[in-house]
Amino acid sequence: MDSLFIDGEWVTPADRERIPVLNPATEEVIGSIVDADASDAAAAFAAARKALPGWRALPVGERAAYLDALADAFRDRGEELARLATAEIGMPLAESRGVQAALPEQVLRSTAQAARDLAWEYQDASGSTVIREPVGVVLGITPWNFPVHQLVAKLAPALAAGCTIVLKPAELTPLNALFLADLCAAIGLPPGVVNLVTGRGSTTGETLVQSEAYDLVSFTGSLGIGRHIGEVAGRRIVRATLELGGKSPAVVMSDADLAAAVQTTVKNCFTNAGQKCNAPTRLIVPEARREEAMQIAAAAAASYRLGDPLDDDTTMGPLASEVQREKVLSYVAGARARGARVHGGGAAGFDRGYFVEPAIITDVAESDPVVQEEIFGPVLVLLGHHGEDDAIRLANDSPYGLSAEVWTADPAAARRLAEGIQAGQVRINGVRSPNPPIAPFGGYKASGLGRELGSFGLEEYLEVKAVLGSFEPVEED
Ligand code: NAP
Ligand code: MG
């Protein structure tokens, strides 16, 4: 702990500020990290730059084998990782096992396979040779809500592509990132291929972003910081991939099973206490059935058991921080003050921990902040539509376009809705996440630029070179 992982070594700069890491369920300090400075950032980038030629020269199969070895480490030590992530983020342990251990393991394996399957070099119809090359040194900056997954969703494709990487995890959840760096060392990854620098976004993060030492920045987080990073990258003309927020709709048509649609949407919305960028936070049902939907959603919300995220009976943990809890409570209070009908949404009456009761909100204007803005907490807004066109209009009435869910018994309607809604992913009738996790993930509109996972995720870390003419020796006559 309180070390940085640079050039294959743990370094512990003595004179940097330490930042405490809290358990959001107990408010206890569970560790501390270094607030890394510009010299640490420079050392990390230098290590990544030095490691780049050797790493990119490895045959792709060897790079893929390292990812598989890291996946094996996730399998073997997944329980530790899940518990550590739960301690940092407060996610119920069963959810952590899936999202922080099993999912990253699958992402590592499927990305290794995508790299083996990629056409790294081919001749096109003009006879030109098209070659894929790694972009270079990557800066990866990640948020706290699915911390392990978000790190791996950058590390895996970067390494598979032949890039080296400097990672900056969220200040709230750095311990799992340190654990990940340990696993990278344990599998014998060459020094400098993966480097980890901890610290605050406003200090360490900003220093890293302003550096001229990276060739691509991959960011997951909020719209505001994403816009800033995109501007900095734009000035330098380096590529930025941005995975930003969402306000995803779940559209239910009159021929769908309303109870199943509402209950599943509540469940998907309240995963990780609603701190999920692709959470379906706007439930859009036929107006004539909105009252019935409200009753079903309120009953589903009332059935959540808040408490210790390590307890098997707990279905909702705390929010990640006090700041996050206050933000969520103020959104709910604001909607109530503007005349909305709210079920739940109060602070849970525990002595400790940043708990908020899940909330269902209806009778609210389409322009209301709780309908338009990303809350990032257990808050589901219920709206009524007047038929398919109106449902699509409402679904698209958002600055975001990350994900959408549609519920209908009519396959033709499902296609029209999937085509009409502007979102990077559309899920039909509650389909679960695919395994392997290779479906492209990313946003339309303000939800971002670029895609993660599978072959599309890999592409983000590759340059394309066209070689015109022949590599054959010129024949003499
Ligand atoms: P955030 O404040 O944007 O932070 C994301 C990361 O950027 C953190 O590591 C943060 O460090 C760092 N950062 C902050 N300011 C920075 C700066 N000036 N320069 C460089 N880095 C900086 O977001 P968050 O509050 O951690 O996470 C919640 C947000 O992320 C939500 O809006 C959510 O929708 C979005 N999100 C999107 C996706 C997706 O895939 N589309 C996934 C998850 C989350 P600190 O932690 O130290 O502030
Ligand atoms: Mg932040």
- Name the pLDDT band for 105 (thresholds 50, 70, 90): very high
> From the DSSP assignment, how many helices (H) and strands (E) are in the chain?
15, 22
378: domain range? Answer: 248-428
CA of 445 to the centre of ligand 2 (A): 21
Q: Atom 46 (ligand 1): residue with closest C-alpha? A: 170
State yes or no: pLDDT of 116 exceeds 90.
Answer: yes
Q: Are 153 and 281 found together in one domain?
A: no
**Is position 284 within any domain?**
yes
Q: Are 75 and 222 found together in one domain?
A: yes
SS3 14: coil
CA of 229 to the centre of ligand 1 (A): 11
The tokens for 281 are 């936070």
**Is position 475 within any domain?**
no
Cα distance between residue 278 and residue 285, in whole Å: 19
**Is position 280 within any domain?**
yes
Closest CA to 403 of 372, 427, 430: 427
Q: Are 169 and 273 found together in one domain?
A: no
Per the residue annotation, which of 163, 184, 269, 277 is the catalytic one? 277
Asked whether 81 and 89 are in contact (CB, 8 A), the reply is no
Cα distance between residue 273 and residue 264, in whole Å: 15
**Is position 239 within any domain?**
yes
Q: Are 286 and 160 found together in one domain?
A: no
Cα distance between residue 293 and residue 281, in whole Å: 14
State yes or no: pLDDT of 471 exceeds 90.
Answer: no
Burial of 131 (0-12, 13-18, 19+ CB in 10 A): middle
Return mean pLDDT, the chain. Answer: 97
Ligand 1 atom with the shortest distance to the CA of 221 = 30
Q: Are 213 and 124 found together in one domain?
A: yes
Structural domain tally of the chain? Answer: 2
State yes or no: pLDDT of 64 exceeds 90.
Answer: yes
Q: Are 231 and 255 found together in one domain?
A: no
Q: Tell me, what amino acid is at 477?
A: D
Cα distance between residue 448 and residue 278, in whole Å: 12
Percent of the chain with pLDDT over 90: 95
Q: Are 238 and 256 found together in one domain?
A: no
For residue 243, give Cα distances in angstroms to 140, 142, 267, 305, 437: 11, 9, 23, 31, 17
Q: Atom 35 (ligand 1): residue with closest C-alpha? A: 221
The CATH number linked to 391 is 3.40.309.10
**Is position 208 within any domain?**
yes
- Residue 395: CB atoms within 10 A of its CB come to 26
pLDDT tens digits for 166-225?
Answer: 999 999 999 999 999 999 999 999 999 999 999 999 999 999 999 999 999 999 999 999
CA of 313 to the centre of ligand 2 (A): 30
Q: Are 123 and 271 found together in one domain?
A: no
**Is position 363 within any domain?**
yes
CA of 341 to the centre of ligand 2 (A): 30
pTM here is: 0.97
Give the ligand whose atoms come closest to the C-alpha of residue 171.
Answer: 1
Q: Are 158 and 28 found together in one domain?
A: yes
State yes or no: pLDDT of 476 exceeds 90.
Answer: no
Cα distance between residue 63 and residue 70, in whole Å: 11
Q: Are 356 and 411 found together in one domain?
A: yes
Q: Are 240 and 385 found together in one domain?
A: no
**Is position 459 within any domain?**
yes
Ligand 1 first shell, C-beta below 6 A: 141-145, 168, 170-172, 200-202, 205-206, 209, 220-222, 225, 228, 243-246, 277, 374, 376, 402, 448
Q: Atom 11 (ligand 1): residue with closest C-alpha? A: 201
Cα distance between residue 439 and residue 153, in whole Å: 13
**Is position 124 within any domain?**
yes
Ligand 1 atom with the shortest distance to the CA of 245 = 34
CA of 317 to the centre of ligand 2 (A): 20
Q: Are 257 and 228 found together in one domain?
A: no
State yes or no: pLDDT of 87 exceeds 80.
Answer: yes
Q: Tell me, what amino acid is at 57?
A: A
Cα distance between residue 150 and residue 290, in whole Å: 36
Annotated catalytic residue 243: yes
Annotated catalytic residue 277: yes
The CATH number linked to 25 is 3.40.605.10
Per the residue annotation, which of 95, 105, 171, 243 is the catalytic one? 243
Asked whether 136 and 472 are in contact (CB, 8 A), the reply is no
